[in-house]
Structure 1
Amino acid sequence: MSKVTAALPRKSLQEHERQFLKIAGQHLAEEKLGGAAAMACLLDMVASWHATRVNIEFGDYCKRWVTEGNAKSKLADRLLRDLLGLDDNPPPRRIRRAA
């Protein structure tokens, strides 16, 4: 039997993504409330992005990660939403019209 496994897609951060992580890390380190939890979430996002087999840009993955509720702390969630430019209001749901 062959023990061949499918290769994972090679992922690397773009220069602007690396700069974003540096600036985000500095910004979150200065936050007294929730900063440490948000930094831990940011680290989790990077590790999870590298582990996923889905070919998705890092920024898009981060936004999905937060909107799916993966930040367990409300303070960290708020800080990450601010950092990623996500507003607090969910997108409006489509209204189904009766036929």
Structure 2
Amino acid sequence: MSTITAALPRKSLHEHERKFLKLAGEGLAQEKVGGAAAMAHLLDMVASWHATRVNIEFGDYCKRWVSEGNAKSKTADRLLRNLLGLDDNPPPRRIRRAA
């Protein structure tokens, strides 16, 4: 009987992803409404990303996770969409100056 298991892809966060998580956690902790739920979902995203066998960048995984509706709280969903740049509002148009 063999106890060998298939190796999972080794995943580690890049420096900018670690900084993002640190700043995101600090920012969400300041949110009075929905901040705690959004932080819990962010932690779930990190754990889920590590558990998946799919080789995908952390940032892309987070965007997919939120886009698929995994944040069950509307407020937490809004906070995470804002954090990840998935807002429904398009960026403001730039006003062209007359030459």
Match of 1:12 in 2: 12
The runs of 5 or more residues in structure 2 that have no matched partner are 90-99
Match of 2:38 in 1: 38
Following superposition of structure 1 onto structure 2, how do residues 4-83 of structure 1 map, counting pairs within 5 Å? 4-83=4-83
How many equivalent residue pairs? 89
The runs of 5 or more residues in structure 1 that have no matched partner are 90-99
Q: Give the drift of 1:5.
A: 1.4
Identity %: 85
Question: 2 CA distance for matches of 1:50 and 1:26?
Answer: 22
Question: 2 CA distance for matches of 1:7 and 1:27?
Answer: 36
TM-score normalised to structure 2 length:
0.86
Q: Give the drift of 1:32.
A: 0.3
**Is the partner of 1:16 in helix, strand or coil?**
helix
Question: 2 CA distance for matches of 1:62 and 1:71?
Answer: 11
Question: 2 CA distance for matches of 1:73 and 1:36?
Answer: 11
Question: 1 CA distance for matches of 2:69 and 2:85?
Answer: 15
